[in-house]
Structure 1
Amino acid sequence: MNAPRAPLRELDQALAELLAHAEPLSQTEAISTFEGDSRVLAQDLVSALQVPPQDNSSMDGYAVRTGEITEGATLPVSQRIPAGSAAQPLRSGTAARIFTGAPVPEGADAIVMQEDTESAGDDRVRILRVPERGQWIRASGEDVTRGSVVLAKGERLGAAGLGLAASIGMDTLTVTRRPRVALFSTGDELVMPGEVAPADMKPGVIYNSNRFFLSELLRRLECEVSDYGIVPDNRDATLKALEHASREHDLILTSGGVSVGEEDHIKPAVQQLGSLDLWQIAMKPGKPFAYGRIEAAHFMGLPGNPVSSFVTFLVLVRPFLLKLQGATKLAPAPMELVAHFDLPRPDRRREFLRVRRDAQGGLELFANQSSGVLTSMVWADGLVDNPAGRAIARGDKVSFIPLAELLG
């Protein structure tokens, strides 16, 4: 008689347990700032200078002393200050021709933008509108002050962060090394595109789509991926692949073989080689998810159905890998949007529904929410995180997670 199955783990509990196992990698590396996109800072970036380094003009125009001018006043132009040049102190009773980004001369306290002036001939300018004190001047340090932390340890860098690092003179960055991930699929039913033509596919055989999107998702998270291909559905081959992968990788990630069928060998193989601490989660799609350890390597087994595999990667594997790299932000904040659909029969598990925003700013639901319909992930621009047992009626507010924030 079979022992009763353990109850499904709640997703939040499972994720908390999973992240508790994700001890950040201690090794770091120095890289060019040009190569820093999506990498995680391993130390604070502290500015050694002010940005901007001195007061500068935010407009093309004329630097003036506001206390000396009135509307319609005509002033001689005493100097011309292009960006990148040094300025002389502004002589009393004069204006300085100045360009965007140029340093404000000592004594000037505002910029008259070019549109509020007209030429009076003989290097003289007429002021048509008097600016307020400080107008159109970018103050030294208004962006970054000397000694401040501009980017904190644990920040996952993007284009803006790289520009900010460069603005304080950083040509190299110290980041956490890339996680090393071994990836393989299991299943005798799997073949690779190009190996068998569609017309020659045997009954029960399918193309291995999971291998393609999982390897890409891993690379977007800056992982070093060792692709082990397809492992046959037998215990010896599974044991051999897991043992080999455990020797030099931080994470072993598999797709398929973590359910309870006689040909699902991943779970018993992991238990034989190490430990299996977590499996079967109360989420849809993605119930058969497994976590364990083999020697020093973490193990995660994803479901074989493509949407299940995709969603469990985004919800569970992605934050785990980010924490391994020391990132402080592990998941995007959900948005509250209006459902433009009905879901009268909710699942008993927490659901991640494939949706996209419509022209009215609400959400429409992909008609077929099956875990095998990968078309839904291409069509969707986000997921609705719907609590277990919650029916949705048109007009209800729901929790929306943009895919753009999960796929980067």
Structure 2
Amino acid sequence: MSFDLVIAADWSSGEVATGARPRKDAIWVCARLWDEVHLEYFPTRHAALRWIEDWLGQGHRTLLGFDFAYGWPAGFAERLTGQADALAVWDWLADRIEDGPDNANNRFDIAARINDAFPGVGPLWGHPHGRSYPGLPARKSDRRDLDLGEHRVCEEVGSGAKSVFQLAYAGAVGGQSLVGQAALARLRAAHPEIVAWPQQTGFVVPEGRIVLVEIYPSLFDDVVEAHEIKDARQVLATASAFAAMPDDWFTAPAGLPDRDRIAREEGWILGVGPTGPMSSQGRAPDDCFALPPGVHWTPVDEAMATLSALTPVTSVEEIPVEAAAGRVLAQDLRAKRANPPTPNAAVDGWGYAAATLPEGEIPVAEGRAAAGQPYGTAVPPGQALRILTGAALPDGVDTIVLQEDATVRDGHLQLAHRPKPGANTRAAGEDVARGDPILRAGNRLRPSDIALAIAAGHGSIPIHVRLRVAVLSTGDEIVPPGTDGTGIYDANRPMLLAMLEAWGVTPVDLGHVGDDAAELADTLDRAAETDAILTSGGASAGEEDHLSRLLSTEGSVAHWRIAVKPGRPLALGRWRGTPLFGLPGNPVAAFTCAAFFARPALLRLAGMDWLLPRRWTVPAAFTKTKKPGRREYLRSRLDPEGRAEVFRSEGSGRVSGLSWAEGFVELPDEAASVKPGDPVRYIPFSELGLG
């Protein structure tokens, strides 16, 4: 197809400008004029549209693409506007969407008005946490009595794009489609030469100077472009692909029924066709996690970097300090008073003012000072007072002699020797002064921390509400513990529930789900009401691995196929915005991945600092050769000589190895050859919160 200029835009519906510094999850636009490439980042939609319009005004034959949905599932347009025409929805939105130069917009309010035109509750759903829009449900599961399909035909054919009805949470496209379609209507009004494909042209090669198309930059992940930000790489790759595409990318798949209605009402993604990148010759529709050529697994450090960006999600409450052991401190603490609050005695003995003592015998003052029983008056100069450990020093006392170094006879004190002035006393605040920092936010409080907080004057402290983590196991082969038959006992779920208890978070047991995608989706919706989700099984790519498919179509996946052994089929993603850890089904792999990936992430969500286990260097008591490419964790324990021995088998189904082990030996991503006596990195279970 002959276009002089190709413009590819990665859009955003954000409500605030993203700042001057280029960043991900923002607006990136690539303009490719013949072989000349221009890549720009924009903090606002207005700035991006001005730049695009400058290009449109230069008179080139132009292909212009944006990465949001140009149409809606069948029936939506006619119900909203009375016309089965996507462009009618564009115009309807242009009359109502307010989109300011600072990115402020009213898309959620308009979404609630759209829902009023439909029976039941929905179809649009999703909005930021903490907000309320009457008529716009926060969750997909809150919708009721809908009579529309969830996806457009082009999405079902194979793009894997999310439903345009989803307005919020990871990967959502609905919000940017609302503000985007309104912008397209205004762009068409300003530039009558624009032709929208396929809404105005059908599935034919379009004529016209400016052709407007819907794009899906993820179709071109396999194209290598040099840029550190994924959004920028994708628009570069998309513009390059469209500059060289054949004419038949504009045709629909063979046998597509009702193509005229689909073109006019639902629209189409350029490249989803008989020979485009999303075709039988390109990536298969269900190959949802395909990685660029030559990349098979995500390195452990890359996955960890993604997880370390998580932030606390729990609220803060004030509780009595004596009930705070094991909880996560929400704010830095300073001492409310000095410890000790007054000068006091460090021993049982006799106190006096060293500078006033007479030579020889020392008169003894009447009474005594004890902890909690202050003397109440000053000790006369030259006299000594009986004083006990912890007692506040009365005026006239600055030194204490040990009771075993003194005797009393006839009301006078005789000293075996005279200690130096100030001996055996504690100064006020010598431990902690009033206002001193004592405990940092993000610490999980130990019994010793509780003692310090109390000593420093705190009766109650601010802590994070306990993180709630849902746990479920999947698979028809799983049966309850102790059940007769040949099924696989559900060892993972009780194990994970116990691990969460050990980490100080609240486990929520959601039981077991069989190989039923609808039941799994419903259970995940319930799980999303907690703060995080742990699943076991179903994260691979088999026919019954529904979790991976659901995450790709209705959730989001940050990483899959982590380069770790055991545990390659480990999915890190989100469901309805809630972090999800799709753990492998084998117990050893589930245990290992939960300990190394889920634990630091969950503790971060719970309010703690990012915390990785410490490694000890110890001599090996084994021989091992490994290939490069994956980090390996071997079940291990220390022998009586302090050397790391490893379990006899590396099989991830050998649960006995977990009980035998007391830690892991960690082998690096690179190739390694270990012989007895070589130094290796050993991580005891105690460093994983499981000691």
The normalised TM-score by structure 1 is 0.89
Match of 1:345 among 599, 606, 625: 625
| Matching of residue 25 in structure 1 with residue 275 in structure 2 | no
When residues 385 and 123 of structure 1 are mapped into structure 2, their CA distance, relative to the original with a 3 A threshold, is farther
When residues 321 and 105 of structure 1 are mapped into structure 2, their CA distance, relative to the original with a 3 A threshold, is same
When residues 121 and 394 of structure 1 are mapped into structure 2, their CA distance, relative to the original with a 3 A threshold, is farther
Measured in 2, the distance between the counterparts of 1:133 and 1:364 equals 58
| Matching of residue 169 in structure 1 with residue 457 in structure 2 | yes
Larger Rg: 2
When residues 127 and 384 of structure 1 are mapped into structure 2, their CA distance, relative to the original with a 3 A threshold, is farther
Which residue does 1:368 correspond to in 2?
649
| Matching of residue 116 in structure 1 with residue 405 in structure 2 | yes
Which residue does 2:674 correspond to in 1?
392
For residues 193-272 of structure 1, what are the structure 2 equivalents within 5 Å? 193-194=481-482, 196=483, 200-202=484-486, 205-246=487-528, 248-272=529-553
Measured in 2, the distance between the counterparts of 1:310 and 1:346 equals 22
Contact 1:69 1:130 in 2 (8 A): no
Relative to structure 2, which stretch is displaced further, 210-219 or 387-396?
Answer: 387-396
Relative to structure 2, which stretch is displaced further, 363-372 or 278-287?
Answer: 363-372
Match of 1:9 among 298, 304, 309: 298
Which residue does 2:99 correspond to in 1?
none
Q: Secondary structure at the match of 1:300?
A: strand
When residues 61 and 209 of structure 1 are mapped into structure 2, their CA distance, relative to the original with a 3 A threshold, is same
Match of 1:91 among 365, 377, 380: 380
Q: Secondary structure at the match of 1:293?
A: strand
Measured in 1, the distance between the counterparts of 2:361 and 2:677 equals 63
Contact 1:243 1:273 in 2 (8 A): no
When residues 306 and 61 of structure 1 are mapped into structure 2, their CA distance, relative to the original with a 3 A threshold, is same
Q: Which amino acid in 2 is paired with 1:283?
A: V
Q: Which amino acid in 2 is paired with 1:292?
A: G
Contact 1:75 1:124 in 2 (8 A): yes
Deviation at 1:222, TM superposition (A): 3.4
Match of 1:76 among 358, 363, 368: 363
| Matching of residue 154 in structure 1 with residue 442 in structure 2 | yes
Contact 2:619 2:642 in 1 (8 A): no
Measured in 2, the distance between the counterparts of 1:40 and 1:347 equals 41
| Matching of residue 35 in structure 1 with residue 343 in structure 2 | no
Which residue does 2:394 correspond to in 1?
105
Which residue does 1:48 correspond to in 2?
336
| Matching of residue 143 in structure 1 with residue 423 in structure 2 | no
| Matching of residue 315 in structure 1 with residue 596 in structure 2 | yes
Which residue does 1:58 correspond to in 2?
346
When residues 307 and 83 of structure 1 are mapped into structure 2, their CA distance, relative to the original with a 3 A threshold, is same
Contact 1:25 1:325 in 2 (8 A): yes
Match of 2:569 among 288, 292, 310: 288
| Matching of residue 300 in structure 1 with residue 588 in structure 2 | no
Deviation at 1:44, TM superposition (A): 1.9
When residues 288 and 129 of structure 1 are mapped into structure 2, their CA distance, relative to the original with a 3 A threshold, is farther
Q: Spell out, residue by residue over 1:362-391, the C-alpha distance to the aligned partner (whole angstroms, 9 max, x if none).
A: 433333343223333333332232213233
Q: Which amino acid in 2 is paired with 1:100?
A: T
When residues 298 and 105 of structure 1 are mapped into structure 2, their CA distance, relative to the original with a 3 A threshold, is same
Measured in 1, the distance between the counterparts of 2:360 and 2:634 equals 66
Deviation at 1:306, TM superposition (A): 1.1
Q: Which amino acid in 2 is paired with 1:149?
A: P
Measured in 1, the distance between the counterparts of 2:415 and 2:392 equals 21
Q: Which amino acid in 2 is paired with 1:115?
A: E
Measured in 2, the distance between the counterparts of 1:42 and 1:384 equals 34
Q: Spell out, residue by residue over 1:86-141, the C-alpha distance to the aligned partner (whole angstroms, 9 max, x if none).
A: 13433332322221111123333332223333x24234333224323333222211
Q: Secondary structure at the match of 1:400?
A: strand
Contact 2:351 2:397 in 1 (8 A): yes
Deviation at 1:16, TM superposition (A): 0.8
Measured in 1, the distance between the counterparts of 2:305 and 2:604 equals 12
Contact 2:620 2:679 in 1 (8 A): no
Relative to structure 2, which stretch is displaced further, 382-391 or 356-365?
Answer: 356-365
Q: Which amino acid in 1 is paired with 2:556?
A: S
Measured in 1, the distance between the counterparts of 2:357 and 2:348 equals 19
Deviation at 1:49, TM superposition (A): 0.7
When residues 224 and 105 of structure 1 are mapped into structure 2, their CA distance, relative to the original with a 3 A threshold, is same
Measured in 1, the distance between the counterparts of 2:313 and 2:638 equals 38
Measured in 1, the distance between the counterparts of 2:509 and 2:350 equals 62
Match of 2:421 among 127, 133, 155: 133
Relative to structure 2, which stretch is displaced further, 254-263 or 24-33?
Answer: 24-33
When residues 220 and 108 of structure 1 are mapped into structure 2, their CA distance, relative to the original with a 3 A threshold, is same
Q: Which amino acid in 1 is paired with 2:626?
A: P
Q: Which amino acid in 1 is paired with 2:405?
A: D
Deviation at 1:211, TM superposition (A): 0.9
Which residue does 1:187 correspond to in 2?
475
Measured in 1, the distance between the counterparts of 2:357 and 2:405 equals 13
Deviation at 1:340, TM superposition (A): 4.3
Which residue does 1:406 correspond to in 2?
688
Deviation at 1:317, TM superposition (A): 0.7
When residues 89 and 252 of structure 1 are mapped into structure 2, their CA distance, relative to the original with a 3 A threshold, is same
Deviation at 1:184, TM superposition (A): 0.4
Measured in 2, the distance between the counterparts of 1:80 and 1:243 equals 69
Deviation at 1:339, TM superposition (A): 2.0
Q: Secondary structure at the match of 1:133?
A: coil
Measured in 2, the distance between the counterparts of 1:396 and 1:66 equals 62
Contact 1:250 1:296 in 2 (8 A): no
Contact 2:313 2:531 in 1 (8 A): no
Q: Spell out, residue by residue over 1:238-268, the C-alpha distance to the aligned partner (whole angstroms, 9 max, x if none).
A: 223223322x122121011112222222101
Q: Spell out, residue by residue over 1:7-27, the C-alpha distance to the aligned partner (whole angstroms, 9 max, x if none).
A: 21111111111222x221252
Measured in 2, the distance between the counterparts of 1:396 and 1:74 equals 70
Deviation at 1:69, TM superposition (A): 6.2
Measured in 2, the distance between the counterparts of 1:77 and 1:363 equals 65
**Sequence identity of aligned pairs in percent?**
38
Deviation at 1:309, TM superposition (A): 0.9
Measured in 1, the distance between the counterparts of 2:544 and 2:420 equals 78
The normalised TM-score by structure 2 is 0.54
Contact 1:25 1:176 in 2 (8 A): no
Deviation at 1:313, TM superposition (A): 1.0
Contact 2:622 2:644 in 1 (8 A): no
Q: Spell out, residue by residue over 1:216-249, the C-alpha distance to the aligned partner (whole angstroms, 9 max, x if none).
A: 2223333333211111023233223223322x12
Q: Secondary structure at the match of 1:96?
A: strand
Which residue does 1:330 correspond to in 2?
611
Unaligned 5+ segments in structure 1 are none
Q: Spell out, residue by residue over 1:274-312, the C-alpha distance to the aligned partner (whole angstroms, 9 max, x if none).
A: 211211111222222101122221111011111211111
Q: Which amino acid in 2 is paired with 1:151?
A: L
Unaligned 5+ segments in structure 2 are 1-280
Q: Secondary structure at the match of 1:345?
A: strand
Relative to structure 2, which stretch is displaced further, 290-299 or 369-378?
Answer: 369-378
Q: Secondary structure at the match of 2:657?
A: helix
Deviation at 1:360, TM superposition (A): 3.5
Deviation at 1:164, TM superposition (A): 1.5
